[in-house]
């Protein structure tokens, strides 16, 4: 079944480039940039990948991202991810990057963007993988900081298809970012947002009504609100679901409790994605395989999930 799932043509719509930083590359970049790490070796770093919630993961994820310093580092990170896409027949990807994670450390915006963009362009030319890049704002920082980031991005407006919203969800509702999302839309950018990962259904309502998002990132808590479910089904609003992430971050204690197939059967446009594959134990095929192994996902269901990912692309 793994090989069959791997061969399915698919799009990945929820992937943080910084979350694809494998420990081996993290150590190589630390050496290249002469950065001392708190972990002795790759295995002890991997051993630290045990999380009880989103915040525990984010603390390590931001720490890991500190090894990314030069344009070449961002190129290497993105290229390694694209090679994985090629192996897993991901024919289109719409990755996120978090500029503030880097600009707040003194790395210029254009250094980050140029490295990512060059790799994405090479991925298109050399690997045949199409893309649409999403600039994500960190929601634990003030909206003013997001405005500043949007301003820095505007000279490179054509490099992006959308803006997104990620980082710590609880206590940082979408409504806090209403004005900066309106500004992004006025520049012709589309919008997406993480909502209903740890946060309540109200956050999904706000993301839809106030941020006017095209897709909901995660959204698994939508099932707690029947009126919200009806809207998502009626309007065919895509959900970018990340099963291994949800179990690693204890949104569900066990994959057998995951609701993605229930939502699929109710007519929700759900898709399968890897979120932060270096930290959560697998890329998109491993996420599909987990649904087969734990939930008995059939080939027909897998085909529909893969088709949903192609239908839900922002860039067609």
- Where on the chain is the footprint of ligand ADE (CB under 6 A)? 16, 19, 54, 61, 166-167, 194, 197, 245, 275-276
Is 22 or 197 the residue whose CB approaches ligand ADE more closely?
197
Residues that bind Zn ion (CB under 5 A): 275
167 binds, among Zn ion, ligand ADE, none (CB under 5 to 8 A by kind): ligand ADE
Instruction: State how far the Cα of 172 lies from the Cα of 282, in Å rounded to an integer.
Output: 28
Torsion angle of C-alpha atoms 22, 25, 29, 35, degrees rounded to 10: 60
Task: State the minimum distance, in angstroms, from the CB of residue 166 to Zn ion.
Answer: 5
Q: Are 21 and 66 in contact (CB under 8 A)?
A: no
* Helix 71-87 with 109-122: angle, nearest 10 deg: 30
Task: State the minimum distance, in angstroms, from the CB of residue 165 to ligand ADE.
Answer: 9
78 binds, among ligand ADE, Zn ion, none (CB under 5 to 8 A by kind): none
DSSP label at residue 174: G
Task: State the minimum distance, in angstroms, from the CB of residue 194 to Zn ion.
Answer: 6
Is 8 or 239 the residue whose CB approaches ligand ADE more closely?
239
Contacts (Cβ under 8 Å, ≥6 apart) of 40: none
CB-side exposure of 193: number of CA atoms within 13 Å? 30
Q: Are 109 and 99 in contact (CB under 8 A)?
A: yes
Task: State the minimum distance, in angstroms, from the CB of residue 54 to ligand ADE.
Answer: 6
152 binds, among ligand ADE, Zn ion, none (CB under 5 to 8 A by kind): none
- Can you say how many angstroms the Cα of residue 86 is from the centroid of all Cα atoms in its chain? 18
Is 170 or 182 the residue whose CB approaches ligand ADE more closely?
170
Judge whether 197 counts as a catalytic residue. Answer: yes
**Residues with catalytic roles:** 197
């Amino acid at each position: 079944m793994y090989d069959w799932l791997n061969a399915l043509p698919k799009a990945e719509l929820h992937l943080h480039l910084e979350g694809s930083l494998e420990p081996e590359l993290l150590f190589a970049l630390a050496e290249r940039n002469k950065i001392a790490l708190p972990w002795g070796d790759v295995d002890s770093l991997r051993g630290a990948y045990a999380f009880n919630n989103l915040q525990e993961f984010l603390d390590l994820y931001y720490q890991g991202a500190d090894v990314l310093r030069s344009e070449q580092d961002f190129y290497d990170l993105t290229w390694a991810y694209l090679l994985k896409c090629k192996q897993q027949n991901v024919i289109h990807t719409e990755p996120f990057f978090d500029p503030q994670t880097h600009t707040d450390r003194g790395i210029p915006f254009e250094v980050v963007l140029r490295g990512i963009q060059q790799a994405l362009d090479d991925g298109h030319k050399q690997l045949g993988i199409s893309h649409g890049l999403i600039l994500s704002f960190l929601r634990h920082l003030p909206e003013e900081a997001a405005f500043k980031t949007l301003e820095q991005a505007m000279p490179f407006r054509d490099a992006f298809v959308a803006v997104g919203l990620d980082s710590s969800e609880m206590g940082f509702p979408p409504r806090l970012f209403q004005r900066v999302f309106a500004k992004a839309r006025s520049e012709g950018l589309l919008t997406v947002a993480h909502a209903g990962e740890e946060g309540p259904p109200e956050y999904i309502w706000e993301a839809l009504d106030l941020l006017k998002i095209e897709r909901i990132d995660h959204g698994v808590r939508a099932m707690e609100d029947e009126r919200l479910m009806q809207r998502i089904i009626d309007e065919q609003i895509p959900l970018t679901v990340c099963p291994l992430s949800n179990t690693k971050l204890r949104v569900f204690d066990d994959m057998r409790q995951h609701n993605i197939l229930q939502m699929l059967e109710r007519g929700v446009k759900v898709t399968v994605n890897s979120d932060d594959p270096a930290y959560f134990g697998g890329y998109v095929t491993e996420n599909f395989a987990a649904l087969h192994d734990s939930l008995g996902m059939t080939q027909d269901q897998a085909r529909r999930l893969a088709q949903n990912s192609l239908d839900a692309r922002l860039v067609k």
